[in-house]
Amino acid sequence: MHKTFSNLMVKLTYALILSSAVFAGSGGGVRAHEVMPTIADLSVSDGSAHLTLRINLEAFLAGIDLDTVVDTNNAENAGDYDSLRAQPAGQIAARAPELLDTWNKLPVLRADGQPAVLETVSITIPEDVNMSLPRVAQWELTAPVPPATNGIVVSWPAGAGALVVRQQGVEEPYTGYLEGGSQSPEIVLGGGGQQTAWQAFTTYIPVGFDHIVPKGLDHILFVLGLFFLSSHIRPLLWQVSAFTAAHTVTLALGAMGWVAVPASIVEPLIAASIVYVAVENIFTSRLSRWRPLVIFGFGLLHGLGFASVLGAFGLPQDQFIPALIGFNIGVEIGQLTVIAIIFLCVWQALRVARGQGAERMAKVLYLTLAAVALGLSLMPMPRLAHVLDAPVALFLIPGALIFGACFLSVQFRHTAEPYRRFVAVPASIGIALVGAYWFVERVFL
């Protein structure tokens, strides 16, 4: 009894440390304050350019660097954002001209190389949005352009995050995805700038990948929950296949507008799915006959979550299918990347547990990796954070804990099922705790 209690306490300690690291890195709910791209619909008529933005004004007014922040909770000026988010819509609309002055100095629009000065037509900001969710405003702008203008270039300021530009009112319209600090090619006003099928396909692959790594922490934890069920490849293949088939179906149905489920329902259920797979891992290491069916059901939910993100970006209507396929392939590459990374992390521990690896070399390797990961997590690395689009510690601290758990698995390799005892079960407990927190937050907070 004492031995069982001791083992349980060790596992819970690992799990609490792991879940605390993830909480610290993720800032709680991933969805609630996730940074989304600004959507810009552009048209030109009667000597005026019209630009309609769907934009999170509070994030811009708070001065958050949207190029490097995935979640506003993780920003240095998160407090300013929360204060602005609590203000009435009218007060936020009154401050919008502050942004416009800066943008016109860039300028955001150039017509045949000449600056086009934007002016506000109207700003609509919803009042009845839950405080934990972003409040997306619709900002209509206009700028005079010469009647004979041939084309317009859109420039997006550094630090403004992603911008999706969609040309309206012409055949073969331009649709483009801009990072902060970049500009579009010249958008010909007569149309003809539409992406080819191949361009749409390749453009949306990184969008899908980015939604998993690094922005999709809930999807990452779900995939890790699948991985930690068993140290054998066959159960993993069954689960990943069921998950992929399911989310592909609902992603397509949701993107086409045939299925729509409110995020207030989908997001808590995604968190619950994380808890389920992780808790089941604690009690079994075998793939039951019905687990793939359950995973398929959860995959349907995750597909709806993917579809909501894709809806925020918008799909080019004339290249809908290639863009949708590209996004889905990007999601799959992201999931496979997560599996490949975690497999490389635990590979030596698995080899030692099976009597195939050198114990001393594995212990030295894991101690070194844990120390390096912890050391790097304490160092400011803005360039790497920019590449990851997330705090570096968000990945390095859990990595260091996994390396430490693998070291213990090797150190106590003569105990029964050392990998499962020291790595898979503690990690699954940590994943379950994080998923449970997200569920409570998304339902009650």
3-12 pLDDT per residue, tens:
443 443 344 4
pLDDT band, very low/low/confident/very high, at 389 (cuts 50, 70, 90) = low
Amino acid at 344: L
- Give pLDDT, residue 9: 39
Residue 14 predicted with pLDDT over 70: no
DSSP-derived secondary structure for 160-191: S--EEEEE-SSSS--EEEE-TT-BPPPEETTS
For 297-323, the DSSP string reads: HHHHHHHHHHHHHHHHH---GGGHHHH
Q: Dump pLDDT digits (tens) for 282-312.
A: 999 888 888 999 999 999 999 998 888 777 6
What is the CA 373 to chain-centroid distance, rounded?
22
3 state DSSP class of 159: coil
Residue 261 sits at φ, ψ, to 5 deg, of: -120, 130
Alpha-carbon separation of residue 240 from 163, 225, 316, 332, 338 (angstroms): 32, 11, 29, 10, 12
pLDDT exceeds 70 at position 93: yes
Statement: residue 276 has pLDDT above 80: yes
Please, which contacts does 384-389 make with residues 24 or more away whose CB atoms are closer than 8 Å?
385/68, 386/67, 386/68, 388/214, 389/68, 389/69, 389/70, 389/210, 389/214, 389/215
* CA pair distance 55, 169, nearest whole angstrom: 21
CA distance 439 to 152: 46
Pairing of strands 114-115, 109-111: antiparallel
Report the side by side order of strands in the sheet with 137-144. Answer: 119-124, 137-144, 48-55, 38-45, 163-167, 175-178
pTM: 0.76
Concatenated DSSP letters of 396-441: HHHHHHHHHHHHHHHHTTTSSSHHIIIIIHHHHHHHHHHHHHHHHH
Q: Measuring CA to CA, which residue among 290, 204, 278, 292 is closest to residue 244? A: 292
Band of residue 28 on the pLDDT scale cut at 50, 70, 90 = very low
Q: Please give the pLDDT value at position 37.
A: 87
pLDDT for position 34 = 66
Surface-to-core class of residue 213, CB atoms within 10 Å of its CB (0-12 exposed, 13-18 middle, 19+ buried): buried
Report angle CA 147, 151, 156 to the nearest 5 degrees.
Answer: 120
The residue among 264, 283, 43, 278 whose CA lies nearest residue 145 is: 43
pLDDT surpasses 60 at 30: no
Which residue type is seen at 317? Q
Which range is most confident: 284-288, 392-396, 408-412? 408-412
Percent of the chain exceeding pLDDT 70 equals 90
pLDDT for position 19: 40
222: confidence class by pLDDT, cuts 50, 70, 90:
very high
Q: How many Å is the Cα radius of gyration of the chain?
A: 24
Q: Which two tokens stand for residue 259?
A: 């299925």
**Which pLDDT does position 442 carry in this prediction?**
86
CA distance 126 to 139: 12
Instruction: Name the DSSP class of 69.
Output: -
